[in-house]
Each structure stands twice: as structure tokens, then as C-alpha cells.
Structure 1
Amino acid sequence: MMTPEEKRDKYERAKQRVADLKKFYGELMSYFLFIAILAGINFYFNNWSYMWFLWPALGWGIGLIFKAYKLFSKTALFGRDWEERKIKELIDKDENM
């Protein structure tokens, strides 16, 4: 049975996860919208003779990939619950000594 404090902590973690997901999806939508606008400007002014809009798409896309990895990967080195897991591991290790 979970204590009220554990339930509250679990709720707060879930609430933070939802907020992080919401922020990521908002950034993803902004990315697609902004890159589409840049592509339209690029096409309008030079008819794809040089597709310069791909440079900001690449840079911003790499940043989004790192954010997605951090958000969705459970194996991230210092991921969501790494600190809490490490604290529990050290407490368990200390209790077993």
C-alpha cells in the first residue's frame, strides 16, 4: 500500500510528464508550421534554385530529436527518474550494510 506522500509524489511526476509532453508537442507543431512558412518563402523568391530553408529545418530538427530522446527514452543517462532511482539505490545499499 502506498503512503499519501508516495501517491502525491507519483501524481506530481505524472503531472510533470504531461506538462513536458504538452510542451514538446507544441514545439513540434511550431517547427512544422515555421519550416512550412520558410519553405513557402524560399519557393516564392527563388523557385527552389537553392533550398536554404533546409538549414534551419536541420538545426531545429536536431534539437527536437534530442528533446524527444530525453522525453521518451527510459534509458537516458540522466533521464526523468534517474535521480530518484539513484537515491533509492543508495538508501537500499546503506540499509543492507
Structure 2
Amino acid sequence: MGRYRKQLFENVQDENFNPDTRYELAYKRVKRIKGFYVHALVYVLVNGYSIISRFDYTEHSDNDFFSWETFTVAIFWGIGLLAHGLSVFGRNLFFNTDWEERKIQEFMDKDKSQKWE
């Protein structure tokens, strides 16, 4: 998320913020979350069906069932689903809202303790 949009989203709680804009931002966020849940549901249904049908097709032979081909789609689609989830929920996972301020303060304190001569 860009710096401007991040600041805009953080200002949603501001009392003077336009209610229509607050609604629009909240609506977009809900649509993104709903999109992720639909993606997760389709992932579970399609891959569940795929793996179960592969299990029936192999006539219970463990060597055929536990092969790379059985789980390839589920693995790579799962990576995509993880990326989608991080884009929706993980924005502040590593760099939360206070991270920049803490880092700036840390560097300022570090520079203050060093003597520049």
C-alpha cells in the first residue's frame, strides 16, 4: 500500500474526515477480505475434490497417491493463496504502523550517542 493511501487509511478515524470517504475505504477493505475468503473456499473445494478423486483413481496404491502430481496444484495454488492472504491481512505483519517511528527514534538515539568530531 502506498504511503499516501496508508496515511489516508490511518486518518479514517479522524473526526473531520469525510464520512463518505470513510465508508468507501471500509467498503474496499471488506471487499478485499471477502475476496480472500472466496479464494480460500474455492481452493479448499477444488483441491479437496482433486485429491480425493486422485485417491479413488489410484485404487488405494500409496505409491501412486503420494506422488508429486497429486499435490502439485495444491502446493502452488497454496503459495498464491498465502500471497493473497498476506496482501489482505499482512500489511502490518512486519512493518506495523509504529515501526517507522520506532526506527527513526532508534537511529536518532544512536546518532546522539555517537560523537561526530
- For the criterion TM > 0.5, the same-fold answer is yes
Q: Which residue of 2 aligns with 1:73?
A: 90
Name which structure has the greater RCO, CA cutoff 8 Å, separation 6+: 2
Q: What is the rounded CA distance, in whole Å, between the counterparts of 1:7 and 1:74 in structure 2?
A: 24
Runs of 4+ in 1 over 3 A off after TM superposition: none
1:2 aligns with 2:19: no
Larger Rg, first or second structure (1 or 2)? 2
Structure 1, unaligned runs of 5 or more: 78-97
- Mapped to 1, the partners of 2:93 and 2:21 lie a distance apart of 21
Q: Aligned Cα RMSD in Å?
A: 1.9
- Per-residue CA shift, 1:10-68, capped at 9, x if unaligned? 11010011111111101101100111111111111112423323110001000000010
Structure-2-length-normalised TM-score: 0.57
Gaps of 5+ in 2: 1-14, 95-117
Task: Provide the rounded CA distance (Å) in 2 between the counterparts of 1:55 and 1:67.
Answer: 18
Counterpart Cα distance in 2 of 1:27 and 1:56 = 14
Equivalent residue for 1:54? Answer: 71
CA contact (8 A) 2:55 2:65 kept: no
Aligned pair 1:19/2:34, yes or no? no
Letter of the aligned partner of 2:87 in structure 1?
K
Residue in 1 aligned with 2:56? Answer: 44
Determine the C-alpha separation between the residues in 2 that align with 1:33 and 1:53.
15
Q: Which amino acid aligns with 2:83?
A: F
